[in-house]
Structure 1
Amino acid sequence: MKHPLLLLSGGLLALCSISCTPLEPPVPAKADRVMYQWYDDYGQGEVSIHIKLSEQIAEVKRGGREIGWTYVATGKEGRATRPGSYRITEKIVDKHSNRYGWIENEYGEVVNGDASPGDPVGPGERYMPAPMPYWMRLTDYGIGMHAGIIPNPGEPASHGCIRMPKEFVPVLFGKTKIGTPVKITY
């Protein structure tokens, strides 16, 4: 009969040879949709933005060269984003809407997901203004570009603003300035 320590060391050796051998790389999970790309060459030229409403995509150019693109969510039916030529007139990193938000109860559960500041609030409830991080104002009537949810890429979803992915918009915010042109077309 073999000594118990020899059996144990033999078992450990076998286990180590199994666990220490290289394994096949894991099969990657199905990739999520690519929401944006940024490939700025940091060359010369001013940055400009072209938002295509029919595609729900924004193209970013520097001196006429494309340097990135992103899915956006513009105004849904009844609150459509107006086409036109605009310029960024205001930039605020941490802005909250003065028109839209939600009402939540004392437990933080949303009881009205599409509320305005004047909507009735029940006992234990409170109105929460919608965050609009990396706000870039385009109009004097409250339309701008900011980070936000894009529930179905390629489809409008906002109250009129241009929502952009939260990972993308800080990069764009850093490359724009007051006066950056923004063209919105169908």
Structure 2
Amino acid sequence: MNFRSLLTIALAVSTGALFTSCSNMSSGGGGLSAYQAYDVPTKLPKNPNNVRVKVSLSKQRTYVMEGSEVLMAMPVSVGGPGTPTPTGSFTIYNKEAKHRANTHGYAYSGSQVKQTFLAKKPAGWSFKGTPMPYWCEFKANYGFHTGWLKHTPCTHGCIRMHENLSPKFFNLVKIGTPVSIAYSQPEDATVGNIPLPPDSGPLPDYNGQMYVTDGYFSQHKSPKYN
């Protein structure tokens, strides 16, 4: 069972403290190498205190703004049917670059790795929670974090970011950054039609060792800014 299959398991349980996400968007080439090469232009703010985040659920885009200037426009994954991303005005109140889930993740013994819940790990096996790099929490159990992006909505309400974009987002926002989440945003019409990464659904997952070590936390290009 691979990293993305966790969503199938999670659908059968209460989401409670689960921090699971998946995605939706359209288009963009194919292959893991194309996925790993994906990036979008990003600017650093003149005044970090003026940064704010706007999320469009219908377009599945996140816009990091400084006043009327778009610092970064990126595709994201939002909540799927029955598990919507909450709408409204929020504030980022918790940031953790190496965040892991508490209840679900990977049991491992030697070279063997199995995706499971902590309560169901085999006796004698060790356990690491699902890695959710560059976690930025805006509501209890809801946050922005790295994850595979697909072309249909499938998160449990979190906002999933591409591996190369999440460290940029993490650097642009701070504790106290406002977040507005709505069905649509004005920026959809002006900067929303950006090139997209390949759908991750058909792509091969990373090796299980990537998730029980710190490998997934550094699975991204070095952030570059304009």
- Give unpaired runs (5+ residues) of structure 2: 1-28, 184-226
Counterpart of 1:136, as a letter, is C
Q: How many residues align?
A: 150
TM-score by length of 2: 0.57
Report runs of 4+ in structure 1 exceeding 6 Å deviation.
none
Aligned counterpart for 2:67 among listed residues 53, 63, 66: 63
| Pair 1:38-2:37 in alignment | no
Q: Taking structure 1 as reference, are residues 70 and 91 closer, same or farther at Cα in structure 2, changes over 3 Å only?
A: same
Identify, as 1 or 2, the structure richer in strand. Answer: 1
What residue ranges of structure 1 are gaps of 5+ in the alignment? 1-29
Alpha-carbon RMSD across the aligned residues, in angstroms, is 2.6
**Larger RCO: Structure 1 or Structure 2 (Cα < 8 Å, ≥ 6 residues apart)?**
2
Matching of residues 1-186 of structure 1 within 5 Å = 32=34, 36-40=39-43, 42-44=45-47, 46-103=50-107, 107-110=111-114, 113=115, 115-118=116-119, 120-123=120-123, 125-139=125-139, 141-150=140-149, 152-153=150-151, 155-186=152-183
TM-score normalised per structure 1? 0.68
Q: Which residue of 1 aligns with 2:215?
A: none
Task: Give the drift of 1:102.
Answer: 4.1
Counterpart Cα distance in 1 of 2:92 and 2:61: 18
Note closer, same or farther for the CA distance 1:123–1:90 as it changes in structure 2 (3 Å cut): closer
| Structure 2 partner of 1:12 | none
Larger radius of gyration: 1
Q: Which has the higher helix share?
A: 2
